[in-house]
Chain A
Amino acid sequence: MSGATIEPGFALPGQTFAISRFDLVRYAGASGDFNPIHWNERVATSVGLPDVISHGMFTMAEAVRVVTDWVGDPAAVIEYGVRFTRPVVVPDPDGARLDVSAAVRAVRDDGLVEIDLTATVGGETVLAKARAVVRLPDGFSGGGSAA
């Protein structure tokens, strides 16, 4: 069973993730997604983008850390889905800052917890319908950080 404080509206600790060109190059290598719009400004602008953009999957992976860092065991994430609504532009050298917040949407009868994520860059939403379904470990209390 989940801790008593985990109920709809419970806010997880938010985080901000810095995204640099270096991060995108490293993610390209680790993931095998070498689409040049994620590292080559000339190619990105030639297809109508303002600049190099983040891999959507990199943004998605960073955002769910608000959940995995909170729970501790990443295996708690049973389902995770997002819609990519706006490209995350990553200029050199400044990069981008991804702000992620999360709150419990529902606690199901089977104990699984639905968490809605909000991911923004410069105040603009970059992921929509971002939701994780989480099986909380036994005895997990939520870290006592209810907002």
Chain B
Amino acid sequence: MTARWQAIVRLLAVQAAWTYERMTGIGVGHAAAPLLRHHLRSQPREAQLAAIARSAEFFNSHPYLAGVAVGAVVRAERDGTQGPTILRLRTALSGPLGALGDQLVWAGQVPALIGLAVAAVPWMGASAVLLAVIVHNVLRLGLTVWGLDLGLREGLAVGGALQRSWLPRRADDAQRLAAFAVGLAVPVAGWFLLRQVPSVSALSVIGVGVLGGVLAVASPTRSRVTGLRVGLALVAVTLLVVGGAR
């Protein structure tokens, strides 16, 4: 396996040693190691060790975009860039890669695909779910490979290249699609699920659900009310009623 593919495979587990202190730092160092060994093989051992140590320092980014930083840092090390400059590059990339990835993937692609899959379940069944998983993983692998190659190509100029790329625009689009998909999924899933409990008043369930949703976003209650807490409270209260009426 080439060093590039070793790095790609390792990037799939970039958060395996995630901590609150170093975040993805160790994972990024692990992914960068084969590329550093390959590109710095003609350099003294001390230089190689220093490069590996730098690559494993604190780093925070979205896991799917960590490859951008891995590629850029490896390219900078290969070009003989000074250590402090490489550390500044890592610091500069940390925020944008985290924010862009969160917008594109966690707030975009994932809820969009899951929302569409959930909305399609009543008609397509489990094949809608399977399709979402396949599409997500194709996009995820593509993004990882694209990010690593972009970093390797651009090196220190990767920040500008990232801004000029399709990523910021698609992040916005993905979030809009996610908003639409989740909006679509909520009534369809409610209808699909409530068909299974004909003894329960659908209007009551919808009314309580909407009230819970409003409480979860209203400024006086949003810090304390989460969907999970609403659900657990409702289940507990209903359980008491069911037990009492036995």
A binds B: no
